[in-house]
Amino acid sequence: MLQQNKQIAIIGGGPGGLTLAKLLQLQKANVKVYERDFDKNARIQGSPLDLHDESGLAAIRKAGLLTEFKNNFLPGADKTRITNEQAEIFFSDHELNQNENFGDEHFRPEIDRGALRKILLESLEPETVVWDSHFLSMEPQNDGWMLYFKNGNSVYADLVIGSDGANSKIRPYVTDIKAFYSGITMLEGTIYESAKAVPQIASLVNGGKIMAFGDTKNILMGQKGNGDLGFYASFKADKNWTSENGLDYTDNKQILNWFQNEYPEWSNIWHELFENASIPFVPRPINCMPLDQTWETIPNLTLIGDAAHVMPPFAGEGANMAMLDALELSEALTSESFASLQEAISSYETKMLQRASKAAQESLENGEKMHAKDALKTMLEFFQQH
């Protein structure tokens, strides 16, 4: 096989990178994952993910991890309520019969990012992940690459796969194409022990998700498996808003004042989010790669996930695309159909870029709909049809 006797280096230990490592190990590949986190407990994982049958779950099945996934997913966490800015409920599927029907193409089970990461980590061979490996640079050596890390280590790899997210340091070795700003920014907050800290909101969430729409702005939130709550104030803003707004993200009172000024029509029920959020808040400008991006295939280097095709989160495709990238790349690299690594990588990249372009287009369109004047009406029509 093409990867036989090759040392493969995956840069980044998110869902895509870990899934790829598992799938390659099932084919006896020699693979290491270099992750900048100090260890597996170094960072709080973000909001839960909903995995799609044809992408994220397809990769889980191929990795032989569906049983572990079923033991760790969050039943009912995909329940959704849609409200206006006054927290009046206009749509709720909480009362419907929620069947956990794995195999139904419309079933999108939720799982905490930390739980998914744990499942993937524990499935890998010992010492697959090399922690505290903050990638700095690399240079061609022989037919591969010499990689250099912040901790002073350097390693050789015959094949390098960038899985290091939206701010990928591997991507510039592949292409100089950069992401563009979508026009939307999200301010992220986290509530610990939400039932105690924000009882009104916790009651409204009721273990699921809330999408609140009003006057071109949103509040989006979802329950985590440990009782915490992740939320986002989502709004249109100038591309320099994050650096020029003058806000102190470690000051709850200042952020609450900002919310009251920018969301003036919104009920004070939402105030407890900003009053009780753990600090700091995290501003997230929402970027997207050009829909027509392409590059010349390199025989010993490629990208998966956000490193390849960062897109807005408004179609729920980010982690799913990354895991599908891992599935398709692993199949290409272990196929008998290609004469060379370059041919295998080229086949993967061609399909990946086309698929990601469609998902990004949908995400951009959904973002516009969700931040339009009639967003509540549009989203109600969508959910009622589905």
Tell me the whole-structure pTM to 2 decimals. Answer: 0.93
Least confident of 43-52, 96-105, 180-189: 96-105
Is 284 known to sit in a ligand binding site? no
Is there a binding annotation on residue 355? no
Query: Residue 108 annotated as binding?
Result: no
CB-based contact 185:286 (threshold 8 Å):
yes
For residues 318 and 136, the model is more confident at 136
What is the average pLDDT value for the chain, to the nearest integer? Answer: 93
Q: Where in the chain is the domain with CATH 3.30.9.30?
A: 180-288
Q: What is the pLDDT of residues 172-212, one digit of tens each?
A: 999 999 999 999 999 999 999 999 999 999 999 998 999 99
Which of 3.30.9.30, 3.40.190.10, 3.40.50.720, 2.40.240.20 would CATH assign to domain 180-288?
Answer: 3.30.9.30
Report the 10 Å Cβ neighbour count for 176.
Answer: 8
Mean pLDDT of 333-345: 94
Q: Which residue has the higher pLDDT, 314 or 316?
A: 314
Q: Is 113 annotated as a binding residue?
A: yes
User: pLDDT-derived band of residue 78, with 50, 70 and 90 as boundaries?
Assistant: confident
**Spatial CA neighbour of 12 closest among 166, 126, 145:** 166
**pLDDT computed for residue 177 by the predictor:** 98
Label residue 99 by pLDDT band (50, 70, 90): low
Residue 351 confidence (pLDDT) above 90: yes
pLDDT of residue 103: 72
- Judged against a pLDDT cut of 70, whether residue 43 lies above it is answered with no
Q: What is the pLDDT of residue 75?
A: 85
Work out the pLDDT band at 317, boundaries 50, 70, 90. Answer: confident
What is the per-residue pLDDT for 100?
64
**274 or 38: which carries more pLDDT confidence?**
274
Chain region(s) in the chain for CATH 3.50.50.60? 7-43+116-178+290-370
Task: Quick: pLDDT tens for 216-260.
Answer: 999 999 988 788 999 999 999 999 999 999 999 999 999 999 999
With a pLDDT cut of 90, the percent of the chain lying above it is: 84
Class assignment of domain 7-43+116-178+290-370?
Answer: alpha beta
User: CB count, 10 Å around CB of 313?
Assistant: 19
